[in-house]
Amino acid sequence: MSFKIASSPHQHIQKTTAQLMKLVALAAVPGIAVQAYFFGYGVLIQLLLAIITALLCEAAVLALRGKKVKAKLLDHSALVTALLLAVAIPSYAPWWLVVIGTAFAIIVVKQLYGGLGNNLFNPAMAAYVLLLVSFPLPMTSWLPAAPLQQQSLSPADAVCTIFTNFSCSGYSISQLRQDADGISMATPLDTLKTDLSQGYTTEESMKKPVFGWLSGEGWFWVNLAYLLGGLFLLQQKVIQWRIPVAVLGSLFGFSLIAWLLSPDTNASPLFQLFSGATMLAAFFIATDPVSASTTEKGRLIFGALIGGLAFVIRSYGGYPDAFAFAVMLANMTVPLIDYYTQPRTYGHKSKGAR
Amino acid sequence: MPTLFQQIQAGKVWDFHGGIHPPSRKERTNQKPVALLDIPDRLYIPLRQHIGVAGKVLVKVGDRVLKGQALTQAENAMAVPVHAPTSGMVLAIDLHTSTHPSSLAEPTLVLAPDGMDEWRPRKPLDPEQVDVYTLLERIQESGISGMGGAGFPTHIKVNVKQPVDYLIINAVECEPYITADDMLMQERASDIIAGIEILVKLLSPKAVLIGIEDDKPIAAASLKAAIGQKDNYFVREVPTKYPSGGEKQLIQLLTNKEVPAGRRPLDIGIVMQNVGTAFAIAQAVLDDIPLIHRVVTVAGETLAQQQNVLALIGTPISDLLNACGFQAEPQQRIIIGGPMMGFAIADWSVPVVKTTNCVLAPTENELGAASDEMDCIRCGACADACPASLLPQQLLWYSKAKDQDKLAEYNLSDCIECGACAYVCPSEIPLVHYYRVAKADIRETQREALKAEQAKARFDARTERLEREKQERLERNQQLAAQRVAQQQASGQATQSAAAVQQALERTQQQSGQSLDKEQIIAERERKKAEALAYQQQKQQAQIATPAEDQAPGTAEDPRKAAIAAALARAKAKKQAEAQPEAVEQTAPAEIAPDMDAKKAAVAAAIARAKAKKQAEAQPEAVEQPTPADTAVPEVDAKKAAVAAAIARAKAKKLAEAQPEAVEQSVPAEIAPPEVDAKKAAVAAAIARAKAKKLAEQAEAPLQTEAKATTERALPPERQEPATTPEQDAKKAAIAAAIARAKAKKQQNSEPL
Ligand code: SF4
Ligand code: SF4
């Protein structure tokens, strides 16, 4: 009798890349739900658009590259990329924005670099940066949270706005953003930045309705939901604690120092943690395995770098939120970090890199 | 700060990096007593079951052997014998598939048990009464080699000169499924402790640390009970985590020490033995039972009875499985060892050997075969799991790229192939497999480097020897010349001979050709003459002075040269034969530098040629020496020498090109009668050379025997009969020789070295 030959180990943990990706998508659900509640159903449409685009692009490129399309599509990595970009884009941004962004993320940032595992940059963040630089206006046109909106928007309105730039009742996106006085409302981070540049103190600026409780109407809850999702990922061992802790820790640390030194011109550390894309970035974006550091020490450095850069760009840069830039910059340093943070191999004295 | 020993005494257990928690599935077999099997119909006993060498076979086919009788004898420190597991008849000693990942066939003794199970006489020892050497001898004679890992001969491992701080007994058994040691501890704890006491007597350690995973509470309790009140025996329960049973990991767990890379545990004062080995030692010493059986876990859901069995060494795996109610499924895998580090076998006739601790016959559901490998997503899960703190994903990358420098930089050699990385990899990349391939490649590269080094050393030694011989020959020639001068002066012929030489020289000068540059020709011819003269003198001198012994230098010279050339040709021929496998059988083994490569052969040939030339140039000093020869002789000799030189050059060249058939082509030139004029000979030589070259280009596999034959035929020109020839011929011959030489030189220069 002849038996089948296989190489050891003959046993494998029942956790595949596809399952990891699915868990990531699952963990994002609470965040997406809260986002949809506060900022409109637009986010769902954006999600749909992004996923369709991502899958089509991925399939096309894989076919062109002569790869096994189905097997690779089923690793769900394109799905996660699409998801991350869709939730980072303003909910009512025109449809072509997310389509362009997703296509760029998949085709250029991921596949042209060699496909899953070989991309230097986080595809979703690279695409976000591209869009932000190319189309700054639609990319920053967030509606105020639902309680502050003058016109309540139905799902149908969402579809209309995204595809025609006008809601079913004919409001343009900039009209939708206006408050009762006809003044366009920006995101809390944006507002704070503008106010501080105009000489207001943090405290004065924070009195505006857009801030709501702690860190901005709606934004606090969105961040909390992503934090929950992140904790779920940690518990499922999909991600390791080092990167998120380092991101949040360094953002908190830097903003604490700045805030203690000059509370009038700096936001509080808690505000920083719960506004904008902080939690999403810390748990979902920075932890993207492909473009993050892989050594234990390296992950701490990588995370701290992101948190620090985000603080600097938020406080002193020209853009309201900063994580996309921070992540991309940190991505670039990964090969270096990895090289210099090789663990000490058992039985060796010196550190890995010599 | 308490010392390490104090910390150990206090019960501290450390941790190692990484590790995984695969489902252990030990409960299936660790509550059933070890079953005894019927004696199988046939036992297949590999003569070598351990690292090291096999012993000499002591029995022959047809012999009846008794249980426990040694079948082989250790003639070497690294060998341990194998024994008959039961009484019976030796059926055959033949090749049989080995119980090894390679499945290579190994010499195996086939025993047909007679069912009587009759023991040879046994001589138990009392460890208290005998000395260390008797114990070591008994351990070796009982065939004991490590039963946990690779099977290192135990008597070597416990025969140490260095002081030993800790004797660590590995009772961890961290691989899933395996409970062989667990059951042994549950059932035979006191024997194990007796074995450990013998080890203590051999090693005198400061303390005995017994490492056991905390999922074996009964075994641990049994051991503790058996130890009783003994001092400095510590049973340390380590958390269940794979691979805490790895030698290095257990050392780290129990002592917080690391074995420095490339060193042995002994270098940090630690010796580790497996519980199974301790048990085997106790049996060998106290009961004189050699290592003829062992506990094997037989598990997997294709079996009706998953259990531990006491299997005789040599029991075919098929018997083992069938005894446990094996029901094969399609695509069945059978794994020797655990699911993490075991190896699958294709042929289940392989036997249980001393290191076989487990046989698995899992269903596909139970241990899923690896599915499709996907791209590495650099998640680092593998690095988190690696007990050696390596970066498996980088090793994977460089293994695929075959970048051996980077692999060394990332310490591939420290990978213990535990499989933890591949176990956790979400992309299901068979990482360990990649590392094995990379390691094999590296070994291959190192072997080749070593071979090249050896060849170079051989070549250098040879060049040196040739140089030395040349020097010796030169000295001898000078001595001979000096002797001759003395002789001739004594006989008063000196002046007369000198005059004769002078006359001959003048005559040739007068007759020099007009179409060629006179000076050059004269010079050339004189040199030629001088060579010939020297040759003649030497020959005569040898004959006159010491007929028998001193003949050697003169006549031996060219044969030796030819022999060297022949050796080179052989080396080359061999090389070519290797390149043309179909010709291999036809090539007899070369005597000198068999695996020297072609380039080196070419170098050597060039050296030989250069030497020949130098030798020729070294002769003229002898020209001044008066010769009793007739005046015509120089002329004749000049011609002959020219012919010979052309031939020799042609020969050397051809040989260097390693075209032995080509040598045949030159035969006409070589045996050309001296009457034929030298020019023709030179032309012939040139033609032969051209032919040889052409042949070289279209050569088929060279036949070395021919090379030998032809080189023999091409032997010393001095064998040719001297004959008188018109003096014009001498002149022409000289011219031809000059041309031929120039050509030869040119070719030689243009030959790549
Ligand atoms: S576990 Fe597998 S996928 Fe993850 S980094 Fe290691 S090799 Fe790559
Ligand atoms: S097989 Fe090698 S690289 Fe993989 S975990 Fe074990 S020691 Fe580390």
Q: What is the pLDDT of residues B398-407, one digit of tens each?
A: 999 999 999 9
Q: Looking at the partner chain, which of B377, B380, B419 has a beta carbon nearest the beta carbon of A9?
A: B419
Q: What is the pLDDT, as a whole number, of residue B349?
A: 92
Model pLDDT for residues B576-626, shown as the tens digit of each residue: 555 554 433 443 444 444 444 555 555 655 665 666 566 555 554 444 444
* Domain-located, residue B513: no
Q: Looking at the partner chain, which of A5, A77, A294 has a beta carbon nearest the beta carbon of B346?
A: A5
- Are the C-beta atoms of residues B187 and B37 closer than 8 Å to each other? no
* Highest mean predicted confidence (pLDDT) among A14-18, B50-54, B142-146, B497-501: B142-146
> Is 0.90 topped by the overall pTM?
no
B388 with A345: Cβ contact below 8 A: yes
Please compute the mean of the pLDDT values over residues B192-199 and round it to a whole number.
Answer: 95
Listed residues B427, B453, B485: the one ending a domain: B485
* Domain-located, residue B173: yes
* Domain-located, residue B749: yes
Q: What are phi and psi of A178, to 5 degrees?
A: -80, 150
Residues 376-405 of B with CB under 8 A from A: 376-380, 383-384, 387-391, 393-394
Q: What is the pLDDT, as a whole number, of residue A318?
A: 73
Please compute the mean of the pLDDT values over residues B635-640 and round it to a whole number.
Answer: 54
* Nearest Cα residue in chain A from B421: A9
For residue A320, name the pLDDT band (cuts at 50, 70, 90): low
Q: Which of A78-82, B153-157, B694-698 has the lowest mean pLDDT?
A: B694-698
* Domain-located, residue B580: yes
Q: Are residues B678 and B713 both part of a single domain?
A: yes
Q: What is the pLDDT, as a whole number, of residue A5?
A: 79
Q: What is the pLDDT, as a whole number, of residue A237?
A: 86
Q: Which of B386-390, B551-555, B673-677 has the lowest mean pLDDT?
A: B551-555
Q: For residues B602 and B56, which has the higher predicted lDDT (pLDDT)?
A: B56
Residue nearest ligand 2's atom 5 by CA: B386
A261 contact B CB<8A: no
Q: What is the pLDDT, as a whole number, of residue B753?
A: 45
Which residues of chain B neighbour A22 with C-beta distances below 8 Å? none
* Highest mean predicted confidence (pLDDT) among A134-138, B112-116, B155-159, B490-494: B112-116
Position B452 pLDDT exceeds 80:
yes
CA distance A53 to A68: 19
For residue B519, name the pLDDT band (cuts at 50, 70, 90): low
B384 with A290: Cβ contact below 8 A: no
Beta-strand relationship, B293-299 and B358-360? parallel
Position A111 pLDDT exceeds 50:
yes
Q: Which residue out of B386, B398, B424 has the highest number of ligand 2 atoms within 8 Å of its CB and is therefore the one to mutate?
A: B386
Q: What is the pLDDT, as a whole number, of residue B644?
A: 57
Q: Are residues B163 and B203 both part of a single domain?
A: yes
B377 with A2: Cβ contact below 8 A: no
Q: Which of B61-70, B232-241, B384-393, B735-744 has the lowest mean pLDDT?
A: B735-744
Provide residues with CB under 6 Å of ligand 1.
Answer: B 376-382, 392-393, 396, 424-427, 429, 431
Q: What is the pLDDT, as a whole number, of residue B676?
A: 44
Which residues of chain B neighbour A342 with C-beta distances below 8 Å? 391, 410
Q: What is the pLDDT, as a whole number, of residue A76?
A: 86
* Domain-located, residue B537: no
* Domain-located, residue B415: yes
Which residue, among A346, A349, A351, would best test binding to B if mutated, counting the most B CBs under 10 Å from its CB?
A346
Q: Are residues B397 and B287 both part of a single domain?
A: no
CA distance B205 to B202: 9
Residues 22-41 of B with CB under 8 A from A: 22
Helices B392-400, B431-491: axis angle to 10 degrees equals 50
Q: Is B432 in the pocket of ligand 2 (CB under 6 A)?
A: yes
Q: Are residues B465 and B599 both part of a single domain?
A: no
Q: For residues B509 and A25, which has the higher predicted lDDT (pLDDT)?
A: A25
Residue B453 vs residues B24, B245, B358, B445, B595: alpha-carbon distances, Å: 49, 39, 43, 12, 12
* Domain-located, residue B737: yes
For residue B395, name the pLDDT band (cuts at 50, 70, 90): very high
* Domain-located, residue B534: no
Q: Is B687 in the pocket of ligand 2 (CB under 6 A)?
A: no
User: What CATH code is carried by the domain that includes residue B393?
Assistant: 1.10.1060
Please compute the mean of the pLDDT values over residues A108-125 and round it to a whole number.
Answer: 88
Q: Pick from B276, B320, B270: which is nearest to B300 by CA?
A: B320
Q: What is the largest CA-CA distance in chain B?
A: 116
DSSP for residue B33: P
Q: What ligand is nearest to the CA atom of residue B386?
A: 2
Average per-residue pLDDT in chain B?
78
Q: Is B425 in the pocket of ligand 2 (CB under 6 A)?
A: no
A15 with B426: Cβ contact below 8 A: yes
Q: Are residues B134 and B278 both part of a single domain?
A: yes
Q: Are residues B435 and B353 both part of a single domain?
A: no
Q: What is the pLDDT, as a whole number, of residue B502?
A: 67
Please compute the mean of the pLDDT values over residues B548-564 and round it to a whole number.
Answer: 49
Q: Is B558 in the pocket of ligand 2 (CB under 6 A)?
A: no
Position B316 pLDDT exceeds 60:
yes
Q: For residues B25 and B76, which has the higher predicted lDDT (pLDDT)?
A: B25
Beta-strand relationship, B293-299 and B307-312? antiparallel
Residue B379: domain span: 373-485
Q: Are residues B312 and B423 both part of a single domain?
A: no
Position A138 pLDDT exceeds 70:
yes
Q: Which atom of ligand 2 is nearest to the CA of B416?
A: 7
Facing residues of B94 across strands? B108
Q: What are phi and psi of B436, to 5 degrees?
A: -60, -45
Q: Are residues B109 and B219 both part of a single domain?
A: yes
Domain count, chain B: 4
Which residues of chain A neighbour B261 with C-beta distances below 8 Å? 345-348
Average per-residue pLDDT in chain A?
84
Q: What is the pLDDT, as a whole number, of residue B22?
A: 92
Q: Are residues B354 and B417 both part of a single domain?
A: no
For residue B546, name the pLDDT band (cuts at 50, 70, 90): very low
Position B488 pLDDT exceeds 90:
no
For residue B485, name the pLDDT band (cuts at 50, 70, 90): confident
Q: What is the pLDDT, as a whole number, of residue B673?
A: 45
Q: What is the pLDDT, as a whole number, of residue A188?
A: 74
Q: What ligand is nearest to the CA atom of residue A9?
A: 2
Please compute the mean of the pLDDT values over residues B499-510 and round it to a whole number.
Answer: 63
For residue B728, name the pLDDT band (cuts at 50, 70, 90): low
Model pLDDT for residues A248-280, shown as the tens digit of each residue: 999 999 999 998 998 877 888 888 888 888 999
Q: CA geometry: angle at B728 spanning B727 and B732, to 5°? A: 120
Q: Are residues B194 and B216 both part of a single domain?
A: yes
Q: Looking at the partner chain, which of A4, A240, A289 has a beta carbon nearest the beta carbon of B377?
A: A289
Q: What is the pLDDT, as a whole number, of residue A300?
A: 95
Residue type, A106: I
Model pLDDT for residues B158-187, shown as the tens digit of each residue: 888 889 999 999 999 999 999 999 999 999
Residue B119 three-state SS: strand
Q: Are residues B726 and B713 both part of a single domain?
A: no
Q: What is the pLDDT, as a whole number, of residue B683?
A: 62
Peptide linkage before B243 cis (omega within 30 of 0): yes
Tokens linked to A37: 């509640």
Q: Are residues B339 and B458 both part of a single domain?
A: no
